[in-house]
Structure 1
Amino acid sequence: MTSPSSSVHEARHALGRRLREIRQEAGLTGRELARRAGWHESKTSRLEHGRTPPSVADIRAWTDICDVADRTAGLIATARGIEGQYVEWRRMEQAGLTHAQESVRPLFERTRRFRTYQSWVIPGLLQTDSYTRAVLSTVSALRDVPDDIDAAVAVRMDRQRVLRSGDHRFAVLIEEWVLRTVIGDADVMAGQLRHLVTAAALPSVSLGVVPLGRPRGVGWPVESFTIYDDAQVNVELVSAHLTVTQPGEIGAYARAFTELAGIAVHGAAARSLIGTALDVLG
């Protein structure tokens, strides 16, 4: 698996190469373009090597100087798309947790095949009200975001309708230690584990648990992620939310999911691990 943000870096470098090609096609040196734009020539180099993301003003100046105004809109759209791939949680949640929960509704509605791997918490679509409240309360406290937890919980609970509607299919993989990690308190966690058994019995859901102590020749633990059809992958990093759209990178996550599924247990064996986690709670 490549670095989680590699697709963003690659996209920035690709945009920089396009800017350099436009400059070269116009017969300009980096120094001359910088002089006409009114900035230091080092900025030209940073833009062309993807070290500095270009602003809308930078792109407009670049295409005006190189006399390719017809390419301006496409380059701006590309730049905005790249910046949308890697979004810090603080920025995503600055308008509140409810807004962040609502923002993914269209993606969930149009996706037919979900593949989710969670190494941190129970996946949102399989959470109880109390468990979700405990998770979002922690998020609110850690990231200092607006406290709109009641509304955010309601949105997430409403989203779970996709489990029982349409032709959506959900393949879910969870590390066993997620079952053993107490979120909220023992009562909240016990209710969540019992709900997980019920949710796993839905016709649309396939649940796998990667057991503790299982040899990891393949299926090394990675960051939590969800693959939406074969169109995109959303990755949960400690500091940010990453959207992967490059086909090659989507394929890498799909292979990782297949490897993890190969060492997970399903059906009665998965339910047994959930039961053991409940027994540990007492």
Structure 2
Amino acid sequence: MTATNSTAYSRDLGDELRRLRQRFTGLRGRAMAQQLGWDPSKVSNLEHGKIKGSDLDLAQYLTVCGKDIDFFEDFTARYQNAFDPYLAQRPDNAHTLAMTEAAATSITAYDVLSVNSLLQTPNYARALQAATGQPVEDLDRRAVVRRPNGPKCVFYLHELALRMRLGSAQVMEEQYVWLLANSSVIRIVPEEATTAAFQSACTLFEFDKAAPLVYAESGLAKVFAQGEASVERGRRLFDLLDEIALDETRTRRKLAEHRGPTPIRALVQ
């Protein structure tokens, strides 16, 4: 067992252990600790991704859960790099991202060519998938933005994304209406800010009891970067965006300008 800084992936895999315990043993954490001969804090810290369990720790834990050698080898292969400061995942793996969003106390995001997935309407998400071939994100994740006592959110959105037409006029109208309804957390980066247009889309997550991380994605991978240099570059980007982005009032005007006079014909779900 090694004490170390938790990461998005260590917390994800720790949560997987917790779910295995609950599903296959029915034991509470303290009872699991008694079964293993561990201190209860060890089970808690392992399941929260705060400590790195040894192969022996994992073998004992998974054996109590009734898992075989094949499961153990698969899990330990994934667990091997769980505490690395840089992690790349397949683009269709959304679980670590969803957990990260749910645990964050602050989410600051920048998107250039499309609306952030936490602000997409279902029809817009499907139109984006059709245009890019990338998997549709789980739209249930949007609830984190509206959750009571949820994270403080700021979404910087380049005006280029408003000009990108995805799907029909109806699809875009619904998306504009949804953005207007959430304009309190949106800052539009005007199209004349060409320097910002060449910056990569990314998200900065901050937590109450864990180190901050920067997240970026493409059609090839989802990348979680917890290294200090990456986080500092992310902070510098958002400092720049804060200087050049429109305030809430002008953001609403810009959104209304792009929506135009078209009447609302459908409700956003």
TM-score, structure 2 length as denominator? 0.60
Distance in 1, matches of 2:225 and 2:121, equals 28
Distance in 2, matches of 1:160 and 1:215, equals 29
Residue equivalent to 1:128 = 121
Q: Which runs of 5 or more residues in structure 1 are unaligned?
A: 1-75, 94-99
Residue equivalent to 2:201 = 224
Q: Does 1:272 align with 2:253?
A: yes
**Structure 2 residue aligned with 1:210, among 163, 182, 189?**
189
**Structure 2 residue aligned with 1:234, among 200, 215, 218?**
215
Q: 1:245 to 1:84 in 2, by over 3 A?
A: closer
Task: Please say if residues 226 and 233 of structure 1, whose CA atoms lie closer than 8 Å, have aligned partners that are also in contact.
Answer: yes
**Structure 1 residue aligned with 2:244, among 237, 256, 263?**
263
1:117 counterpart SS class: strand
How well do the aligned residues superpose, as a CA RMSD in angstroms? 3.0
Distance in 2, matches of 1:244 and 1:83, equals 6
Residue equivalent to 1:44 = none
Amino acid at match of 1:101: A
Q: 1:122 to 1:81 in 2, by over 3 A?
A: same
Distance in 2, matches of 1:178 and 1:92, equals 21
TM-score, structure 1 length as denominator? 0.57
Amino acid at match of 2:205: Y
- With 169-178 and 267-276 compared, the bigger mean Cα shift is at 267-276
After superposition, the C-alpha distances for 1:135-187 in whole angstroms (9 at most, x for unaligned) are 23334xx36x7xxx6xx5xx32x211112222311011010010111112211
Task: Please say if residues 220 and 260 of structure 1, whose CA atoms lie closer than 8 Å, have aligned partners that are also in contact.
Answer: no
Residue equivalent to 1:182 = 165
Distance in 1, matches of 2:191 and 2:86, equals 36
Task: Please say if residues 91 and 218 of structure 2, whose CA atoms lie closer than 8 Å, have aligned partners that are also in contact.
Answer: no
Q: 1:193 to 1:264 in 2, by over 3 A?
A: same
**Structure 2 residue aligned with 1:138, among 131, 135, 142?**
131
2:94 counterpart SS class: helix
Q: Does 1:163 align with 2:145?
A: yes
Across the two proteins, how many residue pairs are aligned to each other?
183
1:183 counterpart SS class: coil
Aligned residue runs from structure 1 range 48-127, under 5 A: 79=81, 85-87=87-89, 91-93=90-92, 100-127=93-120
Amino acid at match of 1:226: T
Distance in 2, matches of 1:249 and 1:234, equals 10
After superposition, the C-alpha distances for 1:53-75 in whole angstroms (9 at most, x for unaligned) are xxxxxxxxxxxxxxxxxxxxxxx
Distance in 2, matches of 1:243 and 1:187, equals 35
Distance in 2, matches of 1:256 and 1:110, equals 23
Task: Please say if residues 214 and 231 of structure 2, whose CA atoms lie closer than 8 Å, have aligned partners that are also in contact.
Answer: yes
Residue equivalent to 2:55 = none
Task: Please say if residues 110 and 201 of structure 2, whose CA atoms lie closer than 8 Å, have aligned partners that are also in contact.
Answer: yes
2:260 counterpart SS class: helix
1:222 counterpart SS class: coil
Task: Please say if residues 85 and 226 of structure 2, whose CA atoms lie closer than 8 Å, have aligned partners that are also in contact.
Answer: no
Amino acid at match of 1:255: R
1:104 counterpart SS class: helix
Task: Please say if residues 223 and 236 of structure 1, whose CA atoms lie closer than 8 Å, have aligned partners that are also in contact.
Answer: no
Q: Which runs of 5 or more residues in structure 2 are unaligned?
A: 1-77, 264-269
Residue equivalent to 2:178 = 195
- Shift of residue 243 of structure 1? 1.5
Task: Please say if residues 186 and 281 of structure 1, whose CA atoms lie closer than 8 Å, have aligned partners that are also in contact.
Answer: no
| Structure number with larger C-alpha Rg | 1
Task: Please say if residues 113 and 168 of structure 1, whose CA atoms lie closer than 8 Å, have aligned partners that are also in contact.
Answer: yes
Task: Please say if residues 115 and 170 of structure 1, whose CA atoms lie closer than 8 Å, have aligned partners that are also in contact.
Answer: yes
Task: Please say if residues 85 and 227 of structure 2, whose CA atoms lie closer than 8 Å, have aligned partners that are also in contact.
Answer: no
Distance in 2, matches of 1:215 and 1:225, equals 17
Amino acid at match of 2:143: R
Distance in 1, matches of 2:95 and 2:130, equals 17
Q: Of Structure 1 and Structure 2, which has the larger fraction of its residues in helix?
A: 1
